[in-house]
Amino acid sequence: MFPLLQYEKHGTCGSPVILQEYDYFLTTLTLFFKYNVTEALENAEIVASDIRKYPIQDVLNAVHSAFKANPKLACIKNGIIKEMYLCFDKQFKLRDCDATKSCPKSVKLPKFHKPQEPDVIKRAIPRVIDIEEIM
């Protein structure tokens, strides 16, 4: 269900180049690995940090330097970068994105923190041996 919804929301505008869900996801993954934004930022010494802030222009310049196209950023509270977009034309050639408007002059790239597993009662259904031990 998820792949179909993503294709219907984002992939159908790629027609006639992209004609089905498989083509959409294959193209998406190919572009994702070809244009490694994380690597471009790291090459400019911009790394994920829960503390450090970076001038937004440095982030934009790092991506432009690597790919020769201007990205678009979307930020949430405290200047945290929520999303970074690379824009493509219908032939999947990079193009400049529209200007970033939702970010302050200094931004953060927070580290990824693996969510903690909720406390779950193990073996919620007792085994026969557990019941015998109680009796």
pLDDT digits (tens, 9 = 90+) for 39-57: 999 999 999 998 999 999 9
In sequence order, the 6+-apart residues with CB closer than 8 A to the CB of 107 are 53, 54, 55, 56, 59, 73, 75, 79, 80, 81
CA angle 73, 99, 32 (to 5 degrees): 45
Q: Are strands 80-85 and 72-76 parallel, antiparallel or unpaired?
A: antiparallel
Res 12 pLDDT > 70? no
Share of the chain above pLDDT 90, in %: 46
* pLDDT tier for residue 26 given thresholds of 50, 70 and 90: confident
Q: Which domains does the chain have, with CATH numbers?
A: 1-34 (no CATH), 37-113 (3.90.730.10)
Residue 55: strand pairing partners:
106
pLDDT digits (tens, 9 = 90+) for 76-117: 988 999 999 999 888 889 999 998 788 999 999 988 777 776
Please give the model's pTM, rounded to 2 decimal places. 0.74
Instruction: Name the one residue in this structure whose structure tokens are 């070809």.
Output: 34
Which pLDDT score, from 0 to 100, does residue 100 have? 79
Which pLDDT score, from 0 to 100, does residue 4 have? 62
